[in-house]
């Protein structure tokens, strides 16, 4: 069985950056196939991963669900296939294959008029297809709503991302509490604080009250990623995260974080 790693946290804290760094790391360092799942309806992980396709060309699970509903309404027999078999075929076709990893974009979540049965079938297909990979990395949308909707599969490692602000750390603690309350199966949880300001000696350092809050909330800190002009510059011109040099402060900090998490090695 492969490992599922989910990345969650408040809006704009660096979830997509960290997902892309992890996907690059796993596909370069480890044997075995990697599936990236973009679970953010705004569908942008492919850009961070340097996949050069037009937004409209990328098929999404949400798009497949809507198309199928329309087809069925207009009397299509789905090529004589059962609905589960049809979904599985379409999702298989929607998986975008790169050399180092594959990508599946979830697209828009189910609308109010959507049938639960269809979503359960989709989830079952995604789970079955994911079984072919050694690692599945899920870049989640911001906030908690999708977690309550239980659209996140059981995960082995949950990386909760925060920036160096009290509000963001408390939001991270909220994610952690919700996971516990929902009894979503999560093997291990870690906090990564991103965009941390540097001290006089050029090292990322958290203000003491923030460090205390992390401890008081019972969050397990895996490490800090500094504010990095290289990351901002790459993002500004649309260069992929995979091209961030290995000697950059971000990649070095990230490599240390990954090395400290046994299940990622």
Instruction: Determine which residue in the list 13, 14, 16, 22 makes contact with Mg ion, applying CB under 5 A.
Output: 16
Q: Toward Mg ion, which CB reaches closer, 84 or 109? A: 109
User: Using an 8 Å Cβ cutoff, are 63 and 107 in contact?
Assistant: yes
Q: Which is nearer to Mg ion, 16 or 176 (CB)?
A: 16
Residues whose CB is less than 8 angstroms from the CB of residue 141 and which lie 6 or more positions away in sequence, other chains included: 39, 40, 41, 42
The least distance separating ligand ATP from the CB of residue 81, rounded to whole angstroms, comes to 35
Site residues, ligand ATP (CB under 6 A): 11-17, 40, 142, 194-195, 225, 227-228, 231-232, 235, 250
Q: CB of residue 190 vs ligand ATP: minimum separation in angstroms? A: 16
Residue 189 interacts with which of ligand ATP, Mg ion, none, CB < 5 to 8 Å by class:
none
In the bound state with ligand ATP, the residue whose beta carbon lies nearer, of 12 and 187, is 12
Q: Rounded to the nearest whole angstrom, what is the least distance from the CB of residue 88 to Mg ion in the complex?
A: 27
Distance CA 26, CA 100 (A): 9
Among the listed ranges 15-23, 51-59, 183-191, 237-245, the one in contact with Mg ion (CB under 5 A) is 15-23
Whichever of 42 and 120 has its CB closer to ligand ATP, that residue is 42
Q: Which two tokens stand for residue 189?
A: 């949880």
Q: Which residue has the tokens 């603690």?
A: 173
Q: What is the dihedral of CA 249, 34, 190, 204, to 10 degrees?
A: 0
Angle separating helix axes 116-130 and 83-94, nearest 10 degrees: 50
d(CA 219, CA 169): 9
Stretch that binds Mg ion, among 16-24, 52-60, 121-129, 204-212 (CB under 5 A): 16-24
DSSP state of 109: P
Nearest CB to ligand ATP, comparing residues 43 and 134: 43
From candidates 4, 9, 14, 15, binder to Mg ion by CB under 5 A: 15
φ and ψ of 170, to 5 deg:
-70, -35
Query: Please, what is the minimum distance in Å from the beta carbon of residue 257 to ligand ATP?
Result: 12
* Tokens representing residue 102 in the block: 């594959």
Least separation in angstroms between CB 48 and ligand ATP: 7
Q: Which does 194 bind (CB under 5 to 8 A by kind): ligand ATP, Mg ion, none?
A: ligand ATP
Any residues with CB less than 8 A from the CB of 35 and at least 6 apart, and which?
95, 101, 102, 103, 104, 129, 130, 132, 133, 135, 136, 137
- The least CB distance from residue 118 to Mg ion, in Å, is 26
């Amino acid at each position: 069985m492969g490992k599922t790693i989910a990345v969650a946290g408040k809006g704009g804290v660096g979830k997509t950056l960290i997902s892309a760094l992890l996907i690059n790391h796993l596909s370069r360092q480890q044997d075995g196939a990697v599936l990236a799942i973009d679970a953010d309806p705004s569908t942008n992980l492919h850009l961070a991963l340097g996949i050069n396709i037009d937004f409209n060309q990328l098929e999404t699970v949400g798009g497949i669900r809507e198309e199928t509903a329309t087809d069925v309404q207009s009397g299509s027999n789905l090529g004589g296939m059962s609905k589960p078999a049809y979904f599985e075929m379409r999702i298989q076709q929607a998986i975008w294959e790169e050399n180092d990893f594959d990508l599946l974009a979830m697209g828009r979540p189910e609308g109010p008029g959507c049938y639960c049965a269809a979503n359960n079938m989709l989830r079952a297909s995604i789970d079955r297809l994911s079984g072919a990979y050694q690692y599945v990395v899920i870049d989640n949308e911001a906030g908690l709503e999708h977690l309550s909707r239980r659209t996140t599969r059981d995960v082995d490692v949950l990386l909760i991302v925060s920036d160096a602000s009290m509000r963001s750390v408390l939001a991270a603690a909220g994610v952690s509490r919700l996971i516990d309350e929902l009894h979503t199966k999560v093997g291990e949880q870690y906090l990564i604080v991103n965009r941390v300001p540097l001290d006089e000696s050029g090292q990322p350092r958290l203000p003491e009250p923030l460090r205390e809050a992390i401890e008081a909330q019972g969050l397990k800190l895996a490490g800090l990623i500094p504010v990095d002009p290289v990351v901002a510059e790459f993002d500004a011109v649309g260069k992929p995260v995979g091209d961030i040099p290995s000697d950059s402060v971000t990649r070095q900090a990230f490599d240390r974080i990954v090395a400290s998490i046994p299940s990622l090695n």
